[in-house]
Each structure stands twice: as C-alpha cells, then as structure tokens.
C-alpha cells in the first residue's frame, strides 16, 4: 500500500467536541477536555494511523468573538491551523445548530477553503431526533459546499471510524511526518502543563481559569526511572492565588494529586509533581507566556 500523510484541522465553536474527537482518533489524551469553553489555547497536534496513512490532527482553539489579546491570539491560531491544513473538518453541535458563531465561521471558511477539502461533522447526534439532523445537514450544505458530511458522536465513538477512513483517503501520498509510535508533536513539558491546567479548570468554577496559566518550570529524570516535575501556576491577583490554593491548601492538593495520577498513567511511570502559585498581574500581556502556550503574541494585537 502507498504511504500517505497530511494535516487535518478541526475547527468549530468552543465546546463543539474538537478535543474529544482528536483524542478519540489518536487513541490517547493529548488535548485538554473540560466542560468549560475556550480551554484549548494552542494548536495541539495529535497523530493517528489509518492503515498506511498518517493523519496529523491540528486541534485548534474554538472560534469565537475575541475581546482580549489572549482571545485574539487564540482565534488567529485557529484560522492559521485551518489555512495550514490539507483537509479542514468543521464540527457543529447537533443540538445547537446554526448559531451566530457558526454563521461567522461559515463566512470565514470561504477564504481557507481555497485549494483544500472541507468536510462537515455534525457532533453529539444522540442529543437530537433524525429529522432535526437531516434538516441541519441540508441547511449547512446549502450554505457551504462541503465535500462530505458525517454524523458522529465523538464521545461515544459513533461514526468516528468512517470519518477517519475518509480522511485517510483524502491526504496526499508521501512519507510519514512523524515516527509511527509518536502520538503528539507537543513537548512533554507542555502536555504536562496542559494536564494540570485541565484539573484546575475542572476544580474551579469561577471565571478564574481563563486568567491563569501553567508552565512546567523544571523536569528532572531520576535514576529510579521516575520524573520530578516542577510547575508554576500564574494568576493575575492575590485573591486568585487564595482561590487556587483553597482552604488549608485543599484545592491545590487535590489538583496536584489528580494531575500527578494522570501524568503517571500517560507516562507509564512514577511522577513527583510540585506546584507553586505565583501572582503575575500582567501575564496576559507578556510575550513569553504566549510562546509557552504555542501562541503568537503579535496575533493578539488589534
């Protein structure tokens, strides 16, 4: 069989299921998945194999109306990921249908569609009746000429294999981009930071998660095969530091335990995780923080 390889960008509104779909395709957790919107900040690449085809998924930040520098950088990263891909897949939530956000994305698709295949994946199909799905599919295909339409449930896996097999046939012939056993091109330091940030996002239900970031400051390989990982959690106010720490340090302990357990499962070895919270009022305006998240600081300017 001929080898094929290429990039597939998953785009859509926040919470459309892009990270869940990529993790399902790759077969491992490489992208942050929470019930909160706007959690994927960087373009995270996950690598899936389908026969002799290597599919490199670019899981982009959700497309939404940007208000702050960080928002603008995230949206620029999302459209940049689509423009760099061989195939673009637009994910729509079946039960939400064509929202204002989806209409804006459809308008933007006209530019990125030049020279690449664009498919539609209607996700969370278990939440609506068949008639609604068919009506939504017709409405969307009347608005944009999608190459194919797929009905899927990323969470349950329904229709995901059909989508993956179709994508494999659409990618160009050529050598694989990554080694066969590699599942992501993010440095482990960044994956580890994303895992901790996910646990913080799940634990904290205020708007605070969008005003914090996590960086892996140090990674030490130990002689016994374990790893010591030191991470910094940056917040913008003293009051936020107290929220992250929690009463008698309960919140940070719970976050540390959950993140450590997931890291150990991911790495297949013992991990010693140490978290420290620092107040950094202007981190949202520091270029270095953006590079740590894989975003372009310049894209956040107006």
pLDDT in tens, the chain (302 residues): 789 988 888 888 877 888 788 888 887 655 544 444 444 445 556 788 888 898 888 765 544 444 555 555 554 555 455 556 788 899 999 998 888 888 888 887 777 767 778 899 999 999 999 999 999 999 999 999 999 999 999 999 999 999 999 999 999 899 987 777 655 555 677 778 888 988 888 888 654 655 788 888 888 888 898 889 999 999 888 888 888 998 999 999 999 999 999 888 877 889 999 999 998 887 667 676 566 555 555 654 43
Backbone angles phi, psi at 291, to 5 degrees: -60, -35
Cα 91 to Cα 134: distance, rounded to the nearest angstrom: 16
Q: Under CATH, which architecture does the 4-170 domain have? A: 3-Layer(aba) Sandwich (3.40)
- Gap between the Cα atoms of 45 and 219, Å rounded: 22
Contact 120, 105 (CB under 8 A): no
Three-state DSSP class for residue 235: strand
| pTM higher than the cut 0.75 | no
For domain 188-300, the CATH class is alpha beta
| Domain span(s) for CATH 3.40.50.300 in the chain | 4-170
22: left (phi over 0), alpha (psi -120 to 50) or beta: alpha
All CATH 3.30.300.20 domain ranges of the chain, comma separated, are 188-300
Residue with tokens 């698709």: 109
**What pLDDT was estimated at residue 218?**
87
> Which of 198, 165, 205 is CA-nearest to residue 266?
198
Q: What pLDDT shows up at residue 284?
A: 65
- pLDDT at site 73: 56
With a CB cutoff of 8 Å and minimum separation 6, the contacts of 252 are 244, 245, 246, 275, 277
DSSP code for 9:
E
């Amino acid at each position: 069989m001929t080898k094929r390889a290429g990039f597939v960008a998953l785009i859509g509104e926040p919470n459309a299921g892009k990270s869940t779909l990529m993790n399902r395709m790759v077969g491992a957790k490489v992208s942050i998945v929470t019930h909160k919107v706007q959690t994927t900040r960087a373009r995270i690449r996950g690598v899936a194999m389908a026969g002799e085809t290597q599919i490199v998924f670019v899981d982009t930040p959700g497309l939404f109306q940007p208000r702050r520098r960080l928002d603008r950088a995230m949206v620029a990263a999302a459209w940049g990921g689509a423009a760099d891909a061989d195939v673009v897949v637009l994910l729509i939530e079946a039960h939400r249908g064509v929202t204002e956000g989806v209409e804006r994305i459809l308008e933007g698709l006209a530019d990125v569609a030049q020279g690449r295949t664009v498919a539609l994946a209607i996700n969370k199909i278990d939440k609506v009746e068949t008639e609604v799905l068919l009506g939504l599919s017709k409405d969307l295909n009347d608005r944009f000429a999608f190459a194919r339409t797929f009905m899927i449930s990323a969470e349950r896996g329904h229709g995901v294999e059909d989508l993956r097999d179709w994508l494999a046939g659409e990618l160009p012939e050529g050598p694989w981009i990554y080694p066969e056993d590699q599942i992501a091109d993010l440095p482990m330091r960044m994956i580890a930071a994303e895992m901790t940030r996910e646990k913080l996002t799940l634990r904290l239900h205020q708007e605070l998660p969008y005003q914090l970031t996590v960086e892996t400051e140090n990674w030490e390989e130990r002689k016994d095969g374990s790893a010591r990982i030191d991470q910094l959690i940056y917040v913008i106010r003293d009051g936020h530091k107290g929220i992250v720490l929690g009463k008698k340090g309960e919140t940070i302990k719970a976050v540390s335990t959950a993140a450590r357990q997931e890291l150990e499962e991911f790495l297949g070895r013992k991990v010693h995780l140490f978290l420290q919270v620092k107040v950094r009022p202007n981190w949202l305006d520091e270029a270095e923080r953006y590079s740590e998240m894989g975003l372009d600081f310049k894209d956040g300017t107006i």
